[in-house]
Amino acid sequence: MLVVALAQAQDLIFELPAPQPGAYFTDALMVDDVSTPGVKSAYVLSENDRAPARPGAESAARIGLTPVLVPGGHQAVLTRPDEVTRALLGV
């Protein structure tokens, strides 16, 4: 029963996101490398994510990181939580 409820919640959340302006993905980004302050950082990228305005590797490079790939799509944090958690803990 819990598996069915989880699948229904995942389906609902998958349908909720609305289009957003993409300028913040395409405009120049004037920030230091995010690892400069000494805080561990990661850019977790879903292998089948079709939502980003530019390739994930390019976005990660803009902030000085290499993406950590996880299986799944844009909602991988909901559909593949174990894999995303392992990627985040591996930082």
> Is the pLDDT confidence value at 84 over 90?
yes
Mean model confidence pLDDT for the chain: 80
CA-to-CA distance for 63 and 18, rounded, in angstroms? 25
Which residue's entry shows tokens 């920030």?
31
- pTM of the prediction? 0.60
Q: Give the model confidence (pLDDT) of 33-66 as tens digits.
A: 776 677 778 889 999 988 877 788 888 888 888 9
- Concatenating the DSSP letter of every residue in 13-27 gives HHH-------HHHHS
User: What tokens were used for 24?
Assistant: 């913040």
User: What tokens were used for 91?
Assistant: 């930082």
